[in-house]
Structure 1
Amino acid sequence: MTTATKGPDVPSPPRAPAPPVAGEPWQRLHPRMVVVSVSWLAGPAAALLATMFLARDLLNTHGWIVLGSYIVVAAVQAGHEWVRYRTTRFRITDGELELRSGLLFRTDKSIPRDRVRSADLTANPVHRLFGLAAVKVGTGERTGKSEDDELVLDGISRAQAVRFRALLLHRGGPDGADAAPALPVPLARLRWSWARYAPLTVTSLAGVLAVVTGGSKLLDTLGLDLTESRVARDAWDRLDALPIAVAVAAVAAVLLAIGVAGSLVSFAEAWYGHRIEREPEGALHLTRGLLTSRSVSVAERRVCGVELSRPLPLRAVAAARLTLLATGLGGAAGRFSHPAQLLPPAPLNAAHRVTADVLNEASSPIERVALRGHPRAALRRRLVRGCLLAPAAAAALTGAGAAAGLLPWWTAAAAAPFTAGCGYALARDAYRGLGHALSGDYIVVRHGTFVRRTVALRRGAIVGFTGRQSYAQRRAGLFTLTATTAAGKGAVRIRDVDVAEGLRFAEAALPGLVAPFRAPEPSPAE
């Protein structure tokens, strides 16, 4: 298939690192980090002690052994952190950020300051209690390795972390004398009315699953059996005395209440104090968090676009979530909890307004363009999967369950038509969700059913285009066109687009890039 590439839009030739500033001292992490390192045990230990207290009539030797193991783990973790504190040194010079760590295996890392793309400052409740913070430095490089390749200063004072972030992004000297005093420009703030959308996300279901699985695992760890508890037996007897429909409704209502409450608590913790600001030095600054504060700064020249995601429940109420696409700022969850997420679930018009402000455009590139649909062959591919393959798989699974006596016989007969009906509706919806277009300096691409995603990517941030075809796509005259970029997940895919249309779109997005690889189109006279 056709492949075309071009160089990155902001390359810089390699150059020798600047020499360190004379007399710039090496610095240590804060010694309080030794205490902070064992904070992750506080939650499980509290749950363990509470369970031991409430179920003390069932407590046995196994529970005391588990409690002792927590103490041993805490001691080992504290010792490891003390070694890290004693062996870690770092400093910022005129040209580099340097980090040295390790006792048996020594590690030396250095990042040229002109290659820093983002600085993520995070402080969990224990960090904040001791006045500490962690700074993760992003360079935009993709090595395919673990977080050990990232340069993270975890365990420095918050004032020092703020100063370091300003130095890394604003290119000031190590003494911080040239910091700009101008005030930032606010772009967006949290509205608590948006909390009504929180139960419409997967957080509700995740909260229920977390409570149920966490509780069962804790009881299993302690070797406790609920059937021996008087409280559990009384609750079961009361449910058993109710009609089956009422009992199921009562359990469902309790689980739903737990999910809604969990999603609201999670929303408040994650998005309290949320604001987006444009700093005078040319950076976007995102701040949020109640217990764990998160503060991310991204140089605006590294901003490449946004992704608008709309799960099915949010689509039903005209709401969406917004994520920033920028080099050096990953789009997936990780240690610092979605650093690229711009907005919580919010009204669609608010998401479009923030998109325009963040991209410094008069209007949102997503809102102002009508997307081009895809060929009918793309619909046929989805109908085959939704109306033939999925019902066949459902019938086979339920048939096996009925043959084993695990399911009633009628489930096997009803599975295929029910799955076919759902598959048809989802296939039609997935086809309607396909689209692509050029919107000024951006390409806009949309796809998805359960979660419909619309990406607006700056054309200058596209590194190249790659086309891939499966056997079924070749027979249908379709292919998947991928725009490669250093931002977000590294690729934006236009699925099941006509080959000729896809090549024309790639050429229009980056003129002169695909033309040498295209066969000349026949003239009308021919």
Structure 2
Amino acid sequence: MNEISAAPPAEQRLHRWSWLFVLLQQLRQFILPLIVLVFAGRRSGPGGDFAEWAPLVGVGVLVVVSVLQYFTYRYRVGSDGITIRSGLLQRSQREIPFARIHNVGVHQSLLHRAFNVAEVRLESAGGQKPEAQMRVLGLDEALALERLVRHRGTATAPADGSDGAATARTDDESHTLLAMSTAEIVRLGLVSNRGMIVFAAAFGLLWQLFPDERLIARLAEDSFRQAAGYADDLHLGWLGIASAAMLVVSVFVFLLRLLSVALALAQYHGFRLSETQRRLTVERGLFARIRTSVAPRRIQAWFLQETLLHRWFGRRSLRIDTATGGPENDPRKLRELAPIATPDACDALAAHLLPGATWPPPQWRPLPRRAWWRLFAGSVPWNLLLAAVLAWQLGAWALLVLLWLPWSAYAAWRQAGRIGYAVDARLVAVRGGWWSRWWRFAEVDKLQALRLQRSPLDRWLGTASLWLDTAGAGAMSPPLRIRFLPEHEARALYAQLGRTLAARRLKW
């Protein structure tokens, strides 16, 4: 603790190589105009020589700006926050209180690791941009700043309304909550669809490079004809052709899974979730190392997922919504507490971080089983529309699409048997899904709003849906809502949660 409480220097600069990383960041933004100048400037006549030298002049200006930013950027760590001064002609000074810093991110790319430096981001709740972005600090200085912000922030903004000084005296040891082995990361790659995402991105890039859809269609048609001609020369027959098609599909799926495993190894190698000073810290990455942390009190909601592939491996994934700002798809944002783990490990992790709450709930309250037809009815119009469009193009054979309706009805019946909810004084939870199962839950204190919704069909059937809003909800996670409840049950639950929230806010 003596090292942490020692007074830091009055003002500190960035790392001596920070200008290089600022330059590279600026070049990434201006690379396209510079390339245009290089190729457009190669012409004869008046002004041609200047056009050829213009890109070099632009790069020189960026170098000067980067060096000036290094010499003019200063930061000072005080007792209550961080002061940042920057600018030469237009000077600015920012005061960032420790209580406002909700997340400290330390990022290292391959170039960062070669120079033993790191980029530090200080983020607050609700902001789309970080409060401060330091490019770059020495790795030791970055980690020391992260520790100092964590300790000062804990003392300034204690959790659960406890005394700040008492909180700051907690043990400084790092406790590992979850560490992923290489075998677990391989399982993560096998159950994920990251390879398909890369394939879709590559297809989109190909479409942009060759906007003439007829060219791509001709390539696909020629490839199909060549394959059909080769199969005809071999006299494979329909059984052989079907086997060859299945083999091609199997090879394609295998390559996609192999790509998914490679991407998972690159992103999650060395994954470690630890707890220090009432903060959660995640470190991961093979080439680019990412270290990000968040206080458990900033967790707004939880999302537990178990797809069919997860069940085959006996695994689940645990994600969280936090109150920190920034885009949802930012890879530096702490979203995954357990990218893949056993069900017992996920439950134990949630129970550890939800003191006083009971997880998993001892009993789930199911919805009326007759609600299955409400789930089934939503898919019927789309199925009929698809069948009509295909029948118009392909004829009567397209009506085979209607065979999906019995399966859809069966899936809705099974899903209705799994939908349920659990509410107690500390936690509200909803579960759903059948083929792909999920659990969504949040502390009652973290609910931002309650909404009772009734559609015309609900009013006719005497049912209602209860929507529970939390901060930081991700678009990829199912909403926290309880659907198709009998109206009296929905209103009673709405009143119960409203009274609980009102009582908790009066205590604050």
TM-score normalised per structure 1:
0.71
Q: What SS is found at the alignment partner of 2:189?
A: helix
- 1:239-283: CA deviations, max 9, x gaps? 74135435433432332222111111112122211122221x222
Correspondent of 2:173 among 170, 183, 200? 183
Q: What SS is found at the alignment partner of 1:128?
A: helix
2:141 maps to what in 1?
A: 160
- 1:363-391: CA deviations, max 9, x gaps? x94434322112356423212112x2122
- 1:479-514: CA deviations, max 9, x gaps? 332223335449733333333323333444453558
1:282 maps to what in 2?
A: 278
Provide structure 2 residue ranges, at least 5 long, that are not aligned to the other structure. 1-6, 33-38, 44-51, 156-167, 504-508
CA contact (8 A) 2:268 2:285 kept: yes
How far apart are residue 85 of structure 1 and its match? 4.6
How far apart are residue 321 of structure 1 and its match? 0.8
- 1:33-58: CA deviations, max 9, x gaps? 145427979xx9xxxxxxxxxxxxxx
CA contact (8 A) 2:22 2:135 kept: no
The count of residues paired between Structure 1 and Structure 2 equals 446
Map residues 29-108 of structure 1 onto 2, 5 A cutoff.
Answer: 30-34=18-22, 36-37=24-25, 75=59, 85=70, 88-100=73-85
- 1:53-107: CA deviations, max 9, x gaps? xxxxxxxx99x99xx9xx9999599557567556644433222234455689876
Return the alpha-carbon distance in structure 2 between the equivalents of residues 213 and 356 of structure 1.
43
CA contact (8 A) 2:119 2:133 kept: yes
How far apart are residue 350 of structure 1 and its match? 2.5
1:486 maps to what in 2?
A: 471
RMSD of aligned residue pairs (Cα, Å)? 4.3
Q: Which amino acid aligns with 1:339?
A: L
1:261 maps to what in 2?
A: 258
Correspondent of 1:356 among 343, 348, 351? 351
How far apart are residue 171 of structure 1 and its match? 0.4
Q: Which amino acid aligns with 1:414?
A: L
CA contact (8 A) 1:366 1:454 kept: no
CA contact (8 A) 1:312 1:449 kept: no
1:314 maps to what in 2?
A: 310
CA contact (8 A) 2:421 2:430 kept: yes
Distance 1:454 1:154, change over 3 A: farther
1:457 maps to what in 2?
A: 442
1:15 maps to what in 2?
A: none
1:296 maps to what in 2?
A: 292
Return the alpha-carbon distance in structure 2 between the equivalents of residues 160 and 395 of structure 1.
63
> Bigger CA drift: 178-187 or 270-279?
178-187
Q: Which amino acid aligns with 1:500?
A: H
1:519 maps to what in 2?
A: none
2:4 maps to what in 1?
A: none
Distance 1:365 1:27, change over 3 A: same
Map residues 321-470 of structure 1 onto 2, 5 A cutoff.
Answer: 321-328=317-324, 332-336=328-332, 338-360=333-355, 365-376=358-369, 378-386=371-379, 388-400=380-392, 402=393, 408-415=394-401, 417-438=402-423, 441-448=426-433, 451-470=436-455
CA contact (8 A) 1:206 1:259 kept: no
Distance 1:501 1:418, change over 3 A: same
Q: What SS is found at the alignment partner of 2:324?
A: coil
Return the alpha-carbon distance in structure 2 between the equivalents of residues 365 and 39 of structure 1.
52
CA contact (8 A) 1:444 1:456 kept: yes
Distance 1:395 1:460, change over 3 A: same
Distance 1:303 1:234, change over 3 A: closer
Larger helix fraction of residues: 2
Map residues 224-239 of structure 1 onto 2, 5 A cutoff.
Answer: none
TM-score normalised per structure 2:
0.73
How far apart are residue 426 of structure 1 and its match? 3.4
Distance 1:134 1:502, change over 3 A: farther
CA contact (8 A) 2:468 2:480 kept: yes
Provide structure 1 residue ranges, at least 5 long, that are not aligned to the other structure. 1-20, 45-60, 403-407, 516-526
Correspondent of 1:245 among 215, 225, 242? 242
Return the alpha-carbon distance in structure 2 between the equivalents of residues 77 and 340 of structure 1.
39
Return the alpha-carbon distance in structure 2 between the equivalents of residues 413 and 36 of structure 1.
57
Return the alpha-carbon distance in structure 1 between the equivalents of residues 460 and 340 of structure 2.
40
Distance 1:96 1:311, change over 3 A: same
